Amino acid sequence: MATLAPGLRGTATGSVAADNTAIALGSGDVPVYGTPALVALMEKAAVCALGDRLGPDETTVGTWIEVNHLAATPVGLEVRAEAELVAVEGRQLSFVLTAFDSRQKIGEGRHHRALLSRERFLAKLQEEV
């Protein structure tokens, strides 16, 4: 099992384009960075915080997220999400999330991921199909 401890940090970056606007994602009708895209970027930052610290058969899956989308970001701007691992309780990992565009803070939140065996997870999933 991976040795994970609070303090690990990860970053994910992207840019706002037509395909990740609220219009394109169906989460609104204005051409700004869509909340589903913000959530995905924040989750990616949490995954990046774990880096190569997981064992060969280990993975994590998102189990809970709470996000405040604080400001609109127009097409063309770069976005960055940061995640910090703040607690490890057994197989549950808790993160604090923040996101920015080139002008301001655009989001904040909290996220939980579960550490598990990739092989067992996929096998169980196949049983349910």
* In the predicted structure, residue 54 carries a pLDDT above the cut 80: yes
pLDDT tens, residue by residue, 93-121: 999 999 999 999 999 999 999 999 999 99
pLDDT tens, residue by residue, 8-51: 999 999 999 999 999 999 999 999 999 999 999 999 999 999 99
State the Rg of the chain over Cα.
16
Amino acid code (one letter) for 59? T
CB-CB contact of 32 with 112 (8 Å): no
Q: Tell me which of 58-67, 92-101, 116-125 is least confident.
A: 116-125
- Residue 4 in any domain: the answer is no
* In the predicted structure, residue 63 carries a pLDDT above the cut 70: yes
Instruction: Provide the residue range defining the domain that includes 59.
Output: 9-128
- Residue 69 in any domain: the answer is yes
- Residue 24 in any domain: the answer is yes
CATH of residue 28: 3.10.129.10
The span from the CA of 61 to the CA of 5, in Å, is 17
- Residue 86 in any domain: the answer is yes
Give strand ranges (E) for the chain. Answer: 9-15, 58-69, 78-89, 92-101, 105-117
Question: What pLDDT, on the 0 to 100 scale, is given for residue 1?
Answer: 58
Q: What are the residue numbers of the active site?
A: 35, 43, 69
* In the predicted structure, residue 3 carries a pLDDT above the cut 90: no
Under the phi-then-psi rule, with left for phi > 0, alpha for psi from -120 to 50, and beta for the rest, what region is 76?
Answer: left
Helices (H), the chain: 22-25, 35-50, 118-128
- Residue 1 in any domain: the answer is no
- Residue 106 in any domain: the answer is yes
DSSP SS3 for 68: strand
Structural domains of the chain, count:
1
User: Looking at the DSSP assignment, which residues form a beta bridge with residue 84?
Assistant: 9, 96
- pTM (2 decimals)? 0.94
- Residue 55 in any domain: the answer is yes
- Residue 115 in any domain: the answer is yes
